[in-house]
Amino acid sequence: MRGFIIALTFFTRIPFPLPKDVSSEEFIKSYRFYPAVGLVLGLLLWLLAKILLPYYPPLVLGALILGAELMLTGGIHLDGFMDSMDGLLSARSPEKILDIMKDSRVGAHASMALVGLLLLKFTLLANLTVSKLPLLIVMPMLSRWVFQIGMIGFPYARSQGLGKGFHEATQWIPFVLSGITVCGISFYLLGFAGPLAFVISSLIISLIAFKISSLLGGLTGDLYGAFIELSEVIILLVAFPFV
């Protein structure tokens, strides 16, 4: 329970008392609870959409849901997505790409990628119907499992960094067990569209991670965040027609 609270307080903006005396080891091991954190985020988004759906037109509802998600997460993973896009889309050498990703300044590539990502997500959210609302629960939960493929399956590109600790702490048994759990919940909420989104998003993120790792010699913490953002959109795209 303590690990879940640590993950919830550090990786969301949900007002919850911060645990005292959190060690670096506890913080790193809290990654196991990321899908549970995603489930909490999803339930909050589902509840908001359930309340607002009868009163607002689709475009307004989509904007409110997207805005609520950004507020709940603080855009923490979008930051990693933007840094990653700035580097990967620069067409530079691997060393230069890593340098660009480390730079906190926002470039043109990051801006273009951000607009494209948010526009696609907004369009999908704006077309949610009552039957499709469970997508809001599955999307953040499943994406916070899928990104762990990059953590456990590929080397870390830098000699140090917060992401390196997460990479070194990942273990296959908890990863597989949590995968079975989130897949089961997805099936319960979405029917066969849940496991379909689980499989396809896992395959696409695995392929992207493989290509990037081959280029850079590994992955980074920014890429972990980028995988969360990308997998959310992939999950929506895959499951949307079948719910």
Per-residue pLDDT of the chain (243 residues; tens, 9 = 90+): 787 888 888 888 888 777 777 777 777 778 889 999 999 999 999 999 999 999 999 999 999 999 999 999 998 899 999 999 999 998 888 899 988 888 878 888 889 999 999 999 999 999 999 999 999 999 999 999 999 999 999 999 877 766 677 777 788 998 999 999 999 999 999 999 999 999 999 999 999 999 999 999 999 989 999 999 999 999 999 999 999
The owner of tokens 């496991």 is: 195
CA torsion through residues 216, 79, 120, 232, sign: positive
Ramachandran angles phi, psi of 55, nearest 5°: -110, -15
Looking at the chain, list the stretches that DSSP marks H as alpha helix, in order from N- to C-terminal side. 2-11, 24-29, 34-52, 58-73, 76-88, 94-102, 108-125, 135-146, 148-153, 162-169, 172-190, 193-216, 221-239
The owner of tokens 């930051």 is: 79
Where on the phi/psi map is residue 191: left (φ > 0), alpha (ψ -120 to 50), or beta? Answer: left
Burial of 186 (0-12, 13-18, 19+ CB in 10 A): buried
* Amino acid 7: pLDDT: 84
When divided into structural domains, the chain yields a total of 1
CA torsion through residues 187, 193, 196, 201, sign: negative
Query: Containing domain of residue 156, as a range?
Result: 2-242
The owner of tokens 């010699």 is: 217
Separation between Cα atoms, residue 78 and residue 49, nearest integer Å: 22
